[in-house]
Amino acid sequence: MSDASTLLTRFNNIQTLPHVAIRLSKMIADDTSSIDDFEDVIRGDPTLEIRLLRVVNSTYYGFRKKISSISQALDFIGIESLRNMVMVEALKSIFTLNQKKTLFSPEKLWLHSATVGLCSQMICERIFGKSGENAFLCGILHDVGIIVEHQAEPDLFQKVCQGLHDEPAPVIDHENRIIGTNHSKIGTKLAEEWNTPAEVQKGIFNHHRILADISPASISGIIQIAEYFAGRLERPALSGMRPTLAPTLTDHIKDNIQEYRTLSKDLPGELTKAKEIYDLET
């Protein structure tokens, strides 16, 4: 039996987030960082610099005039979008490390995470009319604890997958019984280590919890709703895993059913468009 901290220590000995991603996350958390500070970090990573300029000049944004400087690019896409771009690139390598043909598919987990990330951003912006960058980040990260379990405790994790396959109980029940912790707790600790916003950490921690007072407009609520729609697209995180949806969120969807029908219809197209800005394999 292991706790979340023990698993994270093992995981960090196997894989670490690239230095530039960690540094950018810390700088975003520090309100004193300037555009010049961000520009210096980006110039230290030529691959990131090229990708940033390629993305900002893509058809996704459709600017008439070519953007040729990093400062201009950051003005247009924003620091949070840059953070998410770097985080997605870093996570893709983590999600594809040491793959074997088992009951668990890292590729399917990545598809699930990408779907939840984009759907969360759409819900945040379309339904609640607020910035969706943190919702996207939370959606991309919400199941990263599964990757930690897969890499730090592979044998026990396979037992979790087998148990989920044999018995339709909540995945965290299987994890707590077999591993001694669960991917929500592990992911929250990892998100804390990576200096993500507090609301992102809270969303990761709560995404399988049935809370009586959960607000649909909170990131915790938005992630659960997005997981529900990912399930409808047949993109579960693990085979046999069912999304958790608190009663207040079910009522919210019913009360706004036309908006959610439109969102659900548009989601596949948004996933296709995301390939250009985030290079997501969707």
Number of domains the chain is built from:
1
pTM of the model: 0.87
Domain encompassing residue 212: 4-278
Q: For residues 148 and 194, is the Cβ–Cβ distance under 8 A?
A: no
- What CATH number corresponds to the domain at position 71? 1.10.3210.10
Per the structure block, which two tokens stand in for 270?
């948004």
Cα–Cα distances (Å) from 169 to 34, 146, 221, in that order, read: 48, 17, 21
- pLDDT digits 0-9 by tens, 87-117: 887 787 777 655 555 678 888 898 899 999 9
The span from the CA of 246 to the CA of 119, in Å, is 18
Question: What's the pLDDT score for residue 214?
Answer: 94
Which has the closest alpha carbon to 127: 58, 50, 41, 215? 215
Question: Comparing C-alpha atoms, which of 199, 152, 143 is closest to residue 172?
Answer: 143
Mean pLDDT across 67-95: 83
List C-alpha distances in Å: 33 to 37, 69, 196, 267. 6, 19, 16, 35
pLDDT digits (tens, 9 = 90+) for 168-214: 788 999 999 999 999 999 999 999 988 889 999 999 999 999 998 99
Distance of alpha carbon 23 from alpha carbon 15, whole angstroms: 17
